A and B are shown apart, each in its own frame.
Chain A
Amino acid sequence: MIITINELTTRRSVKLEVEPGHTVRVVVEEVMKALKIPPTTTYRLVLGGKEIGPELFDKTLGELGISDGAIMDLVPRPVGGAMLPQDKLLKRLEREEQEMRQQGYEFTREEMWRPMSFPMVYSAGLETLDVALRYIVTFQARGFVLTKKGVEEQLTHTASIYVLRHYPYLDPKLGAPMRIFWESNIFHPNICPGPRYGGNGLVCWKMIREWGKTFSLATLVRGLQLLVENPNPDDPLSKIPICMQATAFFKENPHLMGSMQPSAGGRPRVVG
């Protein structure tokens, strides 16, 4: 049977001799080859007001009711992606660094501009993400550490914030604009101590996925302060023993899970 496919970005038209048993895929491939368009899945076929996308490409023409004399359109499907160019991202981060200084957060900064592999929070294995910069931030919050003496208060914390290339938009793979790893010691159901303390620094923090375009590094660090002071024992890092220990501890000592305001200071003391 004979079918015609019109390519809508150039009004070129391809006439083909096909059989009902041919798949959509081989037809589209022949058309792309004839039109010298590199084969990709960025096109859709349209017949009678219905779209035939890549998920249907393995169906045969017969199965889709395409018969002799059919005329179809080949339409591209572009996707617009949100991402700041490098210079605009750096300008934005400059403003956010100012804000962090004003809030009294100390930090160091390192430009990376390369893919890096990170352990995943919810599953085994590594994920590779496009990293722009890495900040190592130190901030105050009323948290705890586990020592030989028991559970002690810990007021100073250090974390690495890996700002991803898509910042302030969400990295499409990760669904968040950054990765956070703890560097200091901590005793917390949702945070694992850093590598210098025998852990991997993983942080389980749902808020990172509710990221809004108006957030900034300073609001992120404030969020980390609140996380330290308000552990969530109902959603712990269950595969990490020290986090499970902390979960049990906080369930038994709910009075130690603070109010939502980070505290100003005070001396560390042994609590349990």
Chain B
Amino acid sequence: MSCGKEVLPVYIELDVLVNVTRHAVEGLPNEVIGFLLGNACTWNGTTYVHITASIRGKSVASETSVSFAQDALAEVAESIKRDHPDKEIVGWYHSHPGYGCFLSPTDITSHRLCFTMPYHVALVVDPLRKEAAFFRVVEGMGYEGLKSAIVRRRM
């Protein structure tokens, strides 16, 4: 199957999506958060992201928000240096258990402050409604859904 000739903004490897979903399911009923790793590449003048790994954040979920626990980011940095030295953080993921895939105002602000490149992506997973979607922020306080593809390396 091909997605047509246009370069999509984001490609995610199947086992990464599985790992992100597993994290979301294990965190129920709370939200979870983590980073998406991979590379920003260019082809025919378009920049896209190829997500090849994810890193769980030790998550702290309150009644209104989910964030990285104390020293969780240090673990993330060490993980990346040790296991993924050739990759960059191309985006983040978090879950919305039962309330659907979208970016809340906090999500939008967070994304805007933390992910400053136009190709950085946000992945939202709802393990109860069983949905997942990619987003990026746009002008003002807006955001839009991103076209994407789930891919797998041939054996």
Contact = CB atoms under 8 A, between A and B. Distances in A.
Interface of A: 8-11, 36-38, 40, 42-44, 46, 49-51, 73, 75-85, 88, 166, 169-172, 175, 211
Contact of B100 (A49, A73, A80, A88): A88
- Give 10 nearest A-B pairs by CB, closest first: A81-B106, A76-B114, A80-B94, A83-B104, A46-B77, A73-B77, A78-B110, A170-B63, A79-B67, A80-B66
A170 B64 contact: yes
Given A49-B78, A75-B77, A80 B65 contact: yes
Contact of A51 (B63, B73, B92, B110): B73
A169 B73 contact: no
B23 interface: no
Contacts of A50: 71, 74
Contacts of B74: 44, 46, 49-51
Interface residues of B, number: 41
Contacts of A36: 116
B96 to A, nearest CB: 7
A79 B66 contact: yes
A37 B81 CA distance: 22
Contacts, number: 119
Given A8-B77, A8-B89, A10-B88, A38 B71 contact: no
B80 interface: yes
A102 B113 CA distance: 46
Interface in B114-139: 114-117, 120
A50 B74 CA distance: 6
B88 A169 contact: no
30 contacts: A8-B77, A10-B117, A36-B116, A38-B113, A42-B110, A44-B74, A46-B77, A49-B78, A73-B77, A73-B80, A73-B81, A75-B76, A76-B114, A78-B92, A78-B113, A79-B65, A79-B66, A79-B110, A80-B33, A80-B65, A81-B64, A81-B105, A81-B107, A82-B65, A83-B64, A84-B99, A88-B99, A170-B63, A172-B64, A175-B63
